[in-house]
Structure 1
């Protein structure tokens, strides 16, 4: 699965909304040979502003619409003078299609994120500070973010079930995956090697993780195991847990965003 990290051609399109503190634009950029759509919130003022690339969780591509998945975070961060680039990923909204995404365990989404960063850094838009770029992901987007950070797309073995789902719609994909890779019990070394945890020594960036204690979609144990692995590698990581919260944070979401803002303020200063 050799990939090309050749992000380029960030283009700003029509205005999607004016919100006082910021303006929302439709955008596209190039990732490998594909056109990727998304939105960009640009704060009012002169800039240049630090840039955050936001990576959404899993939403069925057939029903996904551009900018969906992190609406609260997009608004919050733009109001705090961050340019927010929310990528749709390939196969979503106005992006070009890649028929092999599921077969490749959705790893190409991380390629689109790396290429979003590269497109920002290569852009001559005056309000973008290409030297100050951060990543934020939720749910599947958190895994996408980790894959992008280690620049070696992979999948944690204990997370494989979200890709190998029994259903008529996925029967062909599942059969192809099983033939090629085997299931974890049959090919444990493949799945261990595919995990971003195997490459945590490559990390150069600090990481902040949020997790609801009652999350039954992505168990808290996954985050704790990742934190342990990172600390064994001497990496800078903090895990914030939220009692009484599930997969989506509600009552404590503002607290999580205050921590997130402080984290980026400190590390993108």
Structure 2
């Protein structure tokens, strides 16, 4: 008997800072647990959304010339925030997708080393292209945390990449900045609370659409992240509505970055934690109460315009199941077309991997 799946649906109402504990590497599959957990559960309180700073367009009722008003002073967003990201990246500049050496060739697909441009950085990755003329739907893969010092090109979602390509999807695995052959430094990525990873995956979608060498259906491009990459996916959809046509998160970290900091970074009290405390403030501190919502996806879920699938194991001992429930509840409350599917499995997805992939592919084919 296969792993049991429990599904939570949210009706369509309208339109990480993560340390080494949350890895999406190609680990050995977890043992199948023997019991399921109820899929229902109330979402936790999300950080308060920022008030709108749009000036009023309301006309004066006076027939004479309206008195002059002081110009509206708009506060510039913190440079390390989602607001600053989507203020600075309205035009996605990803491009320059280049295919390198062939890594693998099967009857179903060919796998290449690849690079593309993300801002002024060159990002490496692995690209699987199905056999045939296309155009094909595409999926960008955002992997979980793996120490950049040991990470190698394409590590973390090898299984997913192969299955997607064998089912007719172009699959581009992104090596975030400072990973493998990608430009950038790990220190800067951490100081920016990994918002640069958001830029890298958004620019990956633009690079695929602009490529003359890869037959991509421009109207069907999805973002699929696992663990830390699930958080990257949620932040990307919130920061850049329209960049993707659907989002999938497996075993995702929290959509609140203070949760992720407290779970993975704060206990180590390392240089990253010390820098964050000094520059931004710890969660709950006076400065931190403004900073952490500003870099989190959840307060900006009302910007998400794409359908979202969250997949989580009921026995996940790395990213708590409650995080998935809370994110699903917040997506639902924001009017996002979202689904939460639960499987009797752990963080790495062992027995449930192929059933979960079948359901993920069915979601992508239906929603894109």
TM-score by length of 2: 0.69
Tell me the CA shift for residue 166 of structure 1: 4.9
Alpha carbons of structure 1 residues 138 and 126: separation in structure 2 relative to 1, 3 Å: closer
In the alignment of these two chains, the number of paired residues is 265
Tell me, yes or no, if structure 1 residue 265 matches structure 2 residue 365.
yes
Partner of 2:301: 200
1:5-44 matched pairs, under 5 angstroms: 5-44=92-131
The Cα shift of 1:33 comes to 0.6
Partners in 1 of 2:237 and 2:146 — Cα distance?
A: 22
Unaligned runs of 5+ in 2: 1-78, 241-254
Q: Per-residue deviation at 1:189? A: 3.0
The 8 Å contact of residues 105 and 155 in structure 1, kept in 2 or not, is answered as no
Change (3 A) 1:162 1:57: farther
The answer for the alignment partner of 2:7 in structure 1 is none
1:183 aligns with 2:271: no
Mapped to 2, the partners of 1:232 and 1:174 lie a distance apart of 32
Equivalent residue for 1:143? 231
User: What is the Cα deviation at residue 125 of structure 1?
Assistant: 2.4
Distance 1:257 1:108 in 2: 28
Within 1, Cα distance between the matches of 2:199 and 2:262?
21
Question: How far has the Cα of 1:260 moved from its partner?
Answer: 0.3
SS in 1 for 2:306: coil
Secondary structure of the residue aligned to 1:102 is helix
Structure 1's consecutive aligned runs of 4 or more residues displaced over 4 angstroms after TM superposition are: 165-168
Moved more, 132-141 or 4-13: 4-13
- Do 2:307 and 2:337's aligned partners in 1 also have CA atoms closer than 8 Å? yes
| 1:235-258 CA distance string (max 9 Å, x none) | 111101112x11111111111011
Q: CA deviation at 1:126?
A: 4.9
1:106: Cα distance to partner? 1.2
Tell me what 1:103 maps to: 191
Query: How far apart are the structure 2 equivalents of 1:71 and 1:165?
Result: 30
SS in structure 1 opposite 2:189? Answer: coil
Within-5 A mapping of 1:209-224: 209-224=310-325
Aligned alpha-carbon RMSD (Å): 1.8
Q: Which of residues 338, 341, 352 is equivalent to 1:240?
A: 341
Higher Cα Rg: structure 1 or 2?
2
Bigger RCO of structures 1 and 2 (CA < 8 A, at least 6 apart): 2
Cα shift readout 1:200-242 (whole Å, capped 9, x = no counterpart): 1111110111101111111011111111111111111110111
Which of residues 243, 249, 252 in structure 1 aligns to 2:349? 249
The alpha-carbon deviation at position 167 of structure 1 amounts to 4.6
Q: Does 1:128 align with 2:216?
A: yes
Q: TM-score, normalised by structure 1?
A: 0.93
